[in-house]
């Protein structure tokens, strides 16, 4: 089945709420409750969920456990995701120490840098390797996502290394538009742009 990125993203947010509901001991929930907790309209919630399966019961709503496992199965199927970090600077180090990733089965299993002072050291249990060894380690550790957290001027060169290592998905924190083929998925997070955008939106909303 074909699921648009928008639906998938919202569904991950529903899942986050479902985990909270579970922790609170709730047995059932409704599109209205999920709507209140996530900010999406109750119609959107129902329509998104119905893309995956008919899991709700009229008059009652959804069983929290059933819904969570149903959505999970379609999206990740309980898989663990192995990630490589490129660039062990300030941002990269913060990501290595970010606790929510492991909790979500997102494991940064290797980091790469070109700084010889950093190579062979360990941050929060993750070893930093010479970027020249990227290809070898990526295939050995079955890494499927790369974090690009190097400076702008090195971004496109490192991106080439990433792609030639066989990785198909990049989370790009550098302020550079990567010129990659259509078979590579890139998600750009340029913090400067996010701040400027937020400022504009807040200014125009007054």
Partner DNA sequence: TACTGTGAAGGCCTTCACAGCG
Partner DNA sequence: CGCTGTGAAGGCCTTCACAGTA
Q: Is 56 in the site for DNA (CB under 7 A)?
A: yes
List binders of a second copy among 133-162 (CB under 8 A): 144-145, 152
Query: Within a 10 A sphere around the Cβ of 52, how many other Cβ atoms?
Result: 18
Note whether 42 binds DNA by CB under 7 A.
Answer: yes
Query: Is residue 81 a contact point for a second copy (CB under 8 A)?
Result: yes
Examine residue 185 and tell whether it contacts a second copy (CB under 8 A).
Answer: yes
Q: By CB under 7 A, is residue 62 in contact with DNA? A: yes
**CA-angle at 99, arms to 76 and 188, nearest 5°:** 60
Q: Is 53 in the site for a second copy (CB under 8 A)?
A: no
Nearer Cβ to a second copy (41/60): 41
Kindly indicate which of the ranges 43-51, 69-77, 83-91, 132-140 contains the residues binding DNA, using the contact rule CB under 7 A.
43-51
Q: Check residue 140 for interaction with DNA (CB under 7 A).
A: no
Residues at the site binding a second copy, with contacts judged by CB under 8 A: 3, 5, 8-9, 12-13, 16-17, 36-39, 75-76, 79, 81, 83, 90-91, 93-95, 97-98, 100-101, 103-104, 106, 144-145, 152, 168-171, 175, 177, 179, 183, 185, 187, 189-202, 204-206
């Amino acid at each position: 089945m074909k699921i648009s990125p928008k639906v998938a993203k919202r569904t991950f947010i529903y899942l986050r709420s479902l985990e909270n509901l579970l922790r609170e001991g709730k047995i059932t929930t409704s599109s209205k409750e999920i709507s209140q907790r996530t900010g999406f309209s109750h119609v959107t919630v129902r329509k998104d969920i119905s893309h995956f399966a008919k899991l709700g019961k009229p008059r009652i709503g959804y069983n929290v456990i059933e819904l969570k496992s149903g959505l999970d199965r379609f999206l990740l199927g309980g898989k663990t995701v192995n990630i490589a970090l490129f660039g062990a600077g300030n941002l990269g180090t913060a990501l290595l120490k970010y606790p929510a990733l492991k909790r979500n089965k997102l494991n940064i299993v290797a980091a790469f840098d070109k700084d010889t002072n950093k190579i062979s050291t360990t941050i929060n249990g993750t070893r930093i390797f010479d970027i020249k060894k990227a290809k070898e380690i990526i295939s050995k550790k079955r890494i499927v996502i790369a974090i690009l957290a190097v400076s702008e001027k090195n971004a496109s060169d490192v991106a080439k290394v990433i792609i030639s290592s066989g990785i198909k998905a990049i989370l790009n924190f550098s302020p550079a538009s990567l010129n990659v083929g259509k078979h590579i998925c890139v998600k750009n997070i340029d913090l400067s742009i996010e701040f400027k955008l937020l400022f504009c939106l807040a200014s125009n909303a007054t």
